[in-house]
A = this chain, B = another copy of it.
Amino acid sequence: MTRSAFTTALHAHADQYWSRHPVHLRLHQGGLTGPELRRWIANRWYYQKLLPQKDAAIVANCPVPEVRRRWTERITYQDGTAEGHGGNAQWLALAEAAGLTRAEVLDERHVLPGVRFATDAYVTFCRTRPWIEAVAACLTELFAPGLMRDRLAALRTHYPWVDPSGHGYFTTRPAAVADDARHALGLVLSYCTTRQLQDAALAALTFKCDVLWSMLDALDHAGRTDSAPPGGCPPQDTP
């Protein structure tokens, strides 16, 4: 594939991106109840908290110093430079602004098994596959900035009871994620120079779209049914 055809093929994955999932559509249209919004926040936390470890796995597998230097900034972005700073602290602030306690987010009592398995699959992929495939899996970031801006608008319009102190993640993340996506796309275009590598990159991006979609499927399913086993790690209503 030419560089241009490959770029187009990567961008075409926008069709598979979780912005189109019914749960996100309902979220953005104001259709989630308070408990549903809280459950979404608490489950997304599990993904959020693993992002720095996912990024560190990519750094660990990458033999190119300048790539590692830039990619390490992603770890710092989410973890921050001190307690209470960084993207993940902002996510916890969102949780609290929506009425969750920090304790019930951190102990993961609300995290659904399906969300856990999908997220873990992503981390395992980044740990075990060649680093450039893991970078390609990150390219869902190409589609993220618009989704995040819509989300901020939706929070302000439809969920005014969420304290604005929780909006920080969505005010700062769109610009950062656009930068990250540009960097990752440049790497994939530079390093995937054979058809085999290009196909591997496209497959990695499809895999990642499946991960994200599957997380929301698990959330959607838990909301539709009471099919949880009596003992295990069932979906629980947020208070």
What is the interface of chain A, defined by CB distance below 8 A to chain B? 12-13, 15-18, 20-22, 113-114, 116-118, 120-121, 124, 206, 209-211, 213-214, 217-218, 220-222, 224-225, 227-233
**Nearest B residue (CB) for A213:** B229
Minimum CB–CB distance for A231 against chain B, Å: 4
Contact, CB under 8 Å: A217 / B220:
no
Instruction: Enumerate 28 A-B pairs (CB-CB under 8 Å) in ascending A order.
Output: A13-B231, A15-B230, A18-B229, A22-B225, A22-B227, A113-B118, A113-B210, A113-B211, A113-B213, A113-B214, A113-B217, A114-B117, A114-B118, A114-B218, A116-B121, A117-B117, A120-B121, A121-B121, A210-B233, A213-B227, A213-B228, A213-B232, A217-B218, A217-B222, A217-B227, A220-B225, A221-B221, A224-B224
Minimum CB–CB distance for A166 against chain B, Å: 27
Contact of A15 among B12, B22, B229 (CB under 8 A): B229
Provide the residues of chain B in CB contact with A18, threshold 8 Å.
229
Contact, CB under 8 Å: B231 / A206:
yes
How many copies of this chain does one complex carry?
Answer: 2
Provide the residues of chain B in CB contact with A227, threshold 8 Å.
21-22, 213, 217, 220
Give chain A's interface secondary structure class: helix
Q: How far is the CA of A107 from the CA of B213 in the complex (A)?
A: 21
Provide the residues of chain B in CB contact with A21, threshold 8 Å.
227, 229
Given the known A-B contacts A114-B114, A220-B225, are A231 and B12 also in contact in the complex, defined by CB atoms under 8 Å?
Answer: yes
Given the known A-B contacts A120-B121, A120-B124, A221-B217, are A230 and B16 also in contact in the complex, defined by CB atoms under 8 Å?
Answer: yes
